[in-house]
Every structure is written in structure tokens, then in C-alpha cells.
Amino acid sequence: MEIRDKIYIDGSWVTPGTSEMIDVINSGDEEVFAKVARGSSQDVDKAVSAARNAFESWSRTSIDERTKYLSRINEGIVARMMDIATVISKEVGTPFMLSQLIQVGLPQTTFASMEQVAKEVEFEDHIGNSLILKEAVGVVAAITPWNYPLHQIAAKVAPALLAGCTVVLKPAELAPINAFMLADIIDEVGLPPGVFNLVNGPGTEIGEAMVKSPGIDMISFTGSTEVGKKIGALAAQDIKRVALELGGKSATVILEDANLSSAISGGLFMCYLNSGQTCIAQTRMLVHRSKLQEVEERVAAETATYTVGDPFDAMTRVGPLVSAKQRDRVKEYIKIGESEGAKIVTGGAENPEGLDKGFYVKPTVFTNVNNSMRIAQEEIFGPVLSIIPFDSEEEAIKIANDSPYGLSGAVWAGDKDHAIEVAKQIRTGQVEVNGGAFNALAPFGGYKKSGHGRELGKYGVEDFLEIKSLQL
């Protein structure tokens, strides 16, 4: 069993102010596989003070020097790829191959991209007699989720450090080990003391203390919309900048002339990825009514190929959910869907056969879904798909936009230009067009209750910059 009894403050592993430890559960077998230190609000104060003291010198280092540190952190992640992927598969339940490609591959790409991104950000500009400067916002509180834990840490820490900010990180309680491994790497590369700090613990204490701290200039949060609302309200008391990446209820819009085979395969992959524990999961599939029966049959057949099981089994395509609480929540939504009158095409709330240990849920597909139903409006965060028919393109766009969220989506059409025209009318932060791949350098973020601000690439760096005008 791995024991992490210290937290990382001011360039050193230190004993926290409480001796309490937090169990980390293996989502595949429900066994405790690690214990981590639980910090306190006093530890937050120490970490913020360290970050505050380090800010002036770090913000004045050259861009080249900052990118060299980030490149060395990337090298450290690459060297530990298998170990980190193994840990995240245990913490979150992601199938091991996908952990390597996504859970470690994406954060590695983010750190590696900073050298190029640094060349794309205009840190200085001229307008008439004014010199426009973009300067680091200050000390950043990064509060990250459990579903893509290291990716979300990298999406905040890498651009913040490149911008010249210092960071205090609170990783997710359910998946913290990967953050400690990143702190090991940061310590080894010799990042100056106080530039990066890690305080682990519950959001109700550690996260709130960070948000309220007078030494914090900006909060970057990824998580639920409800928690995001609370963070925004607390931060507003001190007029702190807040970047929020929150929930989603994305739609796959399959137009009448689309290639059904490609559209269904793409839509199901984006629904079941990471067991549906993905904020951009495409959990609504909008299909022309004339194609409804065919789509139902194809979806049922293809869902059967999404084998549920141990994330370390090479045949597994859908691993467990992160916790018993999350598993029970998803199963309750499946029951809600049935009570609302939706019809189960495949799946259901029963345990997958032969998987009595672990937090497993069957990939479940509903049809006869009205977009006003709870299963079509609320983020379930599990492998649950709602098939919703439409009679016209205009209705499809209306249904796609009839959501409190606006994070992602997809449009499939026989003609790419036609798909782009429809995608332009969908009110979300990103839209896949005929299966366009995720771009780790493109801006990522949402409309409406999906949050505000953008991560990744040059736009992610600019979120951590203040703008100053010098009148010459």
C-alpha cells in the first residue's frame, strides 16, 4: 500500500497540520490501495504565503526559463507514464490503454506544448502611443476534479506557470495520487520554492480556505456546476478572477443524410468514454425520426461490444465508476428514466453479470425520450445515452440548444460544409464536425452553466494574464 503522509509546500515535502489520512479506493475491487495526507486550512495559509513570496521573482523570470522548467516536467511525466497510468486506472477506473493515451498522454501534451504556445501569446503589443503589456495575474488557486485528474491539473498548472503565476493546487480527494506523483517530478526538476504547492483535502475545508484567502488572486476550478456557483459567489466578495469549467449535457446531432455507421460509432465512443465520466460526454443522440428504429437497433448492437470489466483487462472498454456514491447515483438516474416513461433499449440498473465487486454500471441506452425529461436535462456522469428524435433540422438545433449547459457536442452530415453551418448554430464551446478529433491546443470551455474562461493552448495562458496599458 502506498502511503503519502506529507504535502508539498515551499519546495519541500512537509508534515501537515493534522495527522488524519484519507483512504484512496481502487474502483475496480473496492479495496484501499493508498492513503494520503489530509491538509488543513492552516496548511493552505502556509502554501498561499509561500506562493505569494515566490510570485515576484517567478513572474520576472524569462519566458525561456519558464518553458525549460515545463519541458523538464513533461520529460518527467513521460518517464513515469506507465506508473501514472496504473494509478489513475485504479483511482478512476479508466481502461489501462486509455489511461496511457488520454489520462497521461493529454497532460504530457499540455506541458510539452508550452514551448510553442509561448511563441503564440503576445505578451506585448502597441496601439498608437500605448504599450500594451500582459502580465501574470498573481497567485492561482487550482481546484481540480477526479475524472481526468492529471489532465485537469496540467491544463491549469502548465499555462499558469508559463504566464508567470504561482500555484496552490488542491487535487480531487478521490484521485489524488497522480497529483503527488506530479509534485515529485516538480521537486526533482528544481522548480523554485513556492512556485508550486499542493495541499490535499476536502473541498469544504481546503477548497473554501483557498477561495477565501486574501493571498489568492485567481481561482481556476473544474467540477460540478453547483460547486462552481458557490466558488463564484465566495470569490465575488473580494472581486477575484474566476475561471470555471463545469458540467455538460452534450448532443450528437445526426442529420438525415449522415453516414449512420460513423455517426453512431463516434457518438457512442464519446458517450461511454471513461465510463461516461466525461464533462464533454455526448449523452444525447438526436436522430431524424425516419431513422429512429434503425438507429435504436444499431446502437443496441454496438453497445454490446462495449465490454464492462476490470480496467486492466485488455478486453475491457468500459471500466468501473470512481466510487460507490457515483455508481449509486447513475443507477438512480436509470430508474428515474424508466419512471419518466423512457424505454430501455439495452442495459439497466442491475449489476453487470459477474461483477459484484467494484463500482460497475451497464452501458444503458434510452429511447422514447423527451428533451424535457431529467435524463435529457441533467448531467448523469455515467454510461447512459438518451436517443431523441427530431422531424426537421431546425428542431434538431432547437433541441440541442435546449439545455442549461453548453460545453460540447457533435454534428454529423453527408456534407461537411452543411455540418459546419449547423455546428455554428449550436451554443456550445466546441463542436465535433463529422468526427473531428479533440485538439489539445484549441480553446476548451463552455457557454451558459458550463462555465466561463478557456483552457488549453494560447487561450489557456491568456486566462492567467492581466492587461496593462502604458501611455507613451
Residue-wise pLDDT tens digits, 7-64:
999 999 999 999 999 999 999 999 999 999 999 999 999 999 999 999 999 999 999 9
344: β partners: 366
Q: Are residues 188 and 78 in the same domain?
A: yes
Residue 92 inside a domain? The answer is yes
Q: What is the pLDDT of residue 207?
A: 95
Q: Are residues 316 and 285 in the same domain?
A: yes
Q: Are residues 382 and 454 in the same domain?
A: no
Residue 367 inside a domain? The answer is yes
8 A C-beta contact, residue 384 and residue 337: yes
Residue 104 inside a domain? The answer is yes
Q: Are residues 427 and 456 in the same domain?
A: no
Contacts of 248 (CB under 8 A, 6+ apart): 279, 280, 281, 379, 405, 406, 407, 408, 446, 450
Distance CA 61, CA 117 (A): 17
Q: Are residues 336 and 398 in the same domain?
A: yes
8 A C-beta contact, residue 276 and residue 283: yes
pLDDT tens readout for residues 84-104: 999 999 999 999 999 999 999
Residue 149 inside a domain? The answer is yes
Q: Are residues 271 and 381 in the same domain?
A: yes
Q: What is the pLDDT of residue 471?
A: 97
Distance CA 460, CA 120 (A): 12
**Is a pLDDT exceeding 90 seen at residue 1?**
no
Q: What is the CATH number of the domain that holds 302?
A: 3.40.309.10
Known catalytic residues? 245, 279
pLDDT-based confidence at 80, cuts 50/70/90?
very high
Distance CA 52, CA 56 (A): 8
Residue 260 inside a domain? The answer is yes
Contacts of 123 (CB under 8 A, 6+ apart): 63, 133, 134, 465
Q: Are residues 177 and 79 in the same domain?
A: yes
Residue 445 inside a domain? The answer is no
Residue 36 inside a domain? The answer is yes
pTM of the complete model: 0.96
Residue 155 inside a domain? The answer is yes
Average pLDDT over residues 109-121: 97
**Is a pLDDT exceeding 90 seen at residue 278?**
yes
**Is a pLDDT exceeding 90 seen at residue 175?**
yes
Number of structural domains in the chain: 2
Q: Are residues 262 and 410 in the same domain?
A: yes
Contacts of 200 (CB under 8 A, 6+ apart): 7, 22, 36, 37, 38, 39, 170, 171, 173, 176, 179, 180, 206
Mean pLDDT over all residues of the chain? 97
Q: Are residues 226 and 335 in the same domain?
A: no
Q: Are residues 70 and 204 in the same domain?
A: yes
Q: Are residues 457 and 374 in the same domain?
A: no
Q: Are residues 84 and 211 in the same domain?
A: yes
Domain that holds residue 367: 250-440
Average pLDDT over residues 56-77: 98
Q: What is the CATH number of the domain that holds 241?
A: 3.40.605.10
Average pLDDT over residues 123-135: 97
